[in-house]
């Protein structure tokens, strides 16, 4: 997605991301076509016809504008769906971290004081705190993986799952998303997810084999710019795949949730009380509903009869330009005006085609990378607010190569990984510093502690 200012000069003289790359060849052809028709009419001193401005032009304009409006509505539906999906993942992660009780340290910190409590070293950490910490780790890494899987699926849903093949550029981007999942999921979880992707030419059968292959493929990723030259132009995708990657991850999340539920017999006192589990399961259902909406936007094209009619009438109108020539009106009316009309009609048709699928890695597609990164930063902040320093130490930030960060309008520089799963030969880890302005609740915690200490001194 391109960010731009309201400056006319910047907008008008922009080429990348506009309609020009898609229509310039057709526009130049029909402009020359109109000029030749005018010159021939002047030479012969006779018009090709006397059609004038018939109802065809108005009908064409109406159909194309109606299609563009429908495509714009699909674009905003995709944008709202992406926001809903990330918001629901964030809500599930936040409530899960809060609801898990833990042991003496965690439960006292969360339920009897929170940010206003004395430093955590006052309390003795027990095995229940470790179990709660393991749960938070699973929730965070699986939620981030769920966000990554949304980008992975929407990037290849149309080409791969509808037409059965993806380009080598899409395969290159897909492999980077799989690398991200390798750095967040266990081997068993990744093997399940990788089968759901459905690549036909996949040779490695285990997560360890694929880890080695991707490590070689992206070795020193900062020096790479794109797929190797010896790759084929297309990669086959299995039509028969039925389980989508986010669905498989939601199943794993449900399993983690119910495995850490505090049942009525108090068999797992560190876990989430059973009365909270239903609400969390409902949020997971909302995540799947948002995903289905995004999948519908990706894989449901404009009905063929409508697209066929628009393009047929557009082609007929542009080819009939000589019959609109009236050489008595001069060169401007017979060359410049038809050229601008051609630009308008081809441009509106190109815009509609561009907006119909707002997901993927194209220059005007929605910036999913930014949304994933925001979720990663929020996940680390939630762990800080829960007082779980042990969990924080297991996550780290990995540098992002320029060819990945350039796909985001924010120029992202890092991504979240599990330190023990990180592929250091691909990109190095960086120090886990807290960006300025992120840990705003940390300052609030210190203020509350100071206030509580002053209040205790006056009693």
Distance CA 255, CA 274 (A): 14
Are 352 and 306 a contacting pair, CB within 8 Å?
no
Residue 356: DSSP 8-state = S
Confidence of residue 48 (pLDDT cuts 50, 70, 90): confident
What phi-psi label fits residue 166: left (phi over 0), alpha (psi between -120 and 50 degrees) or beta?
Answer: beta
269 and 251: one domain? yes
Are 379 and 64 a contacting pair, CB within 8 Å?
no
317 and 210: one domain? no
Q: Domain count for the chain, please give it.
A: 2
The tens digit of pLDDT for each residue in 410-422 reads 888 899 999 999 9
453 and 387: one domain? yes
Q: What average pLDDT score do residues 283-302 get?
A: 93
Domain of 310, in residue numbers: 8-46+304-355
In terms of pLDDT, which residue wins out, 154 or 387? 154
127 and 248: one domain? yes
Residue 79 lies in a domain: no
Instruction: Give the DSSP letter string of 12-23.
Output: HT--TTSSHHHH
Mean pLDDT lowest among 85-94, 220-229, 263-272, 274-283 = 263-272
Which residue is listed with tokens 């393991």? 134
In three-state secondary structure terms, 327 is: helix
Note the pLDDT of residue 147: 97
In terms of pLDDT, which residue wins out, 124 or 354? 354
Residue 242 lies in a domain: yes
The tens digit of pLDDT for each residue in 360-384 reads 888 889 999 999 999 999 999 999 8
338 and 373: one domain? no
Which of 330, 355, 380 terminates a domain? The answer is 355
Note the pLDDT of residue 288: 96
Instruction: Give the DSSP letter string of 249-299.
Output: HHHHHHHHHHHTEE-TT-S-TTSEEHHHHHHHHHHHHHHHHHHHHHHHHHH
Q: Which of 376, 371, 411, 408 is nearest to 83 (CA)?
A: 371
Dihedral angle at the C-alpha atoms of 202, 207, 212, 217, nearest 10 degrees?
50
Three-state secondary structure along 263-276?
CCCCCCCCCEEHHH
- φ, ψ dihedrals at 337, nearest 5°: -60, -45
Instruction: Kindly tell me if the per-residue pLDDT of 110 is higher than 90.
Output: no
Confidence of residue 448 (pLDDT cuts 50, 70, 90): very low
- φ, ψ dihedrals at 256, nearest 5°: -65, -40
Which of 355, 377, 397 terminates a domain? The answer is 355
Mean pLDDT lowest among 26-35, 59-68, 111-120, 160-169 = 111-120
Instruction: Kindly tell me if the per-residue pLDDT of 122 is higher than 90.
Output: no
345 and 377: one domain? no
Instruction: Report strand pairing: 272-273 vs 395-399.
Output: unpaired
């Amino acid at each position: 997605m391109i960010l731009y200012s309201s400056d006319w000069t910047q907008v008008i003289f922009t080429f990348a991301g506009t309609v020009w790359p898609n229509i310039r060849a057709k526009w130049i052809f029909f402009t020359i076509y109109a000029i030749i028709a005018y010159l021939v009419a002047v030479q012969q001193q006779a018009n090709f016809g006397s059609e004038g401005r018939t109802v065809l032009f108005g009908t064409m304009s109406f159909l194309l504008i109606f299609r563009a409006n429908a495509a714009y509505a699909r674009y905003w539906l995709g944008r709202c769906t992406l926001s809903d999906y990330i918001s629901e993942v964030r809500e599930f992660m936040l409530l899960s971290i809060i609801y898990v009780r833990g042991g003496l340290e965690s439960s006292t910190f969360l339920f009897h004081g929170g940010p206003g409590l004395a430093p955590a070293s006052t309390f003795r950490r027990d095995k229940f705190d470790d179990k709660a910490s393991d749960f938070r780790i699973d929730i965070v890494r699986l939620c981030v993986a769920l966000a990554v899987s949304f980008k992975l699926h929407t990037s290849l849903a149309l080409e791969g799952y509808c037409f059965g093949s993806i380009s080598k550029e899409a395969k290159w981007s897909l492999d980077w998303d799989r690398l991200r999942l390798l750095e967040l999921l266990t081997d068993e979880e990744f093997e399940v997810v990788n089968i759901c992707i459905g690549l036909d030419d996949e040779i490695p059968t285990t997560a360890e084999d694929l880890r080695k292959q991707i490590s070689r493929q992206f070795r020193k990723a900062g020096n790479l710019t794109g797929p190797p030259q010896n790759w084929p132009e297309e990669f086959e995708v299995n039509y028969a795949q039925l389980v989508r990657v986010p669905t498989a991850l939601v199943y794993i999340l449900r399993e983690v949730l119910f495995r850490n539920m505090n049942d009525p017999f108090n068999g797992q006192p560190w876990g989430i009380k059973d009365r909270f589990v239903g609400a969390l399961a409902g949020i997971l259902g909302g995540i799947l509903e948002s995903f289905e909406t995004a999948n519908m936007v990706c894989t449901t094209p404009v009905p063929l009869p409508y697209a066929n009619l628009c393009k047929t009438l557009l082609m007929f109108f542009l080819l009939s330009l000589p019959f609109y020539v009236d050489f008595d009106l001069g060169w401007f009316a017979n060359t410049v005006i038809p050229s601008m009309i051609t630009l308008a009609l081809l441009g509106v048709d190109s815009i509609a085609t561009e907006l119909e699928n707002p997901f993927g890695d194209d220059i005007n597609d929605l910036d999913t990378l930014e949304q994933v990164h925001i979720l990663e930063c929020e996940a680390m902040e939630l762990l800080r607010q829960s007082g779980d320093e042990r969990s924080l130490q297991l996550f780290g930030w990995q540098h992002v190569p320029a060819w990945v960060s350039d796909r985001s309008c924010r120029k992202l520089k890092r991504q979240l990984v599990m330190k023990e799963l990180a592929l250091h030969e691909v990109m190095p880890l960086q120090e886990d510093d807290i960006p300025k302005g992120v840990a705003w609740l940390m300052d609030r915690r210190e203020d509350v502690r100071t206030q509580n200490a002053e209040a205790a001194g006056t009693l």
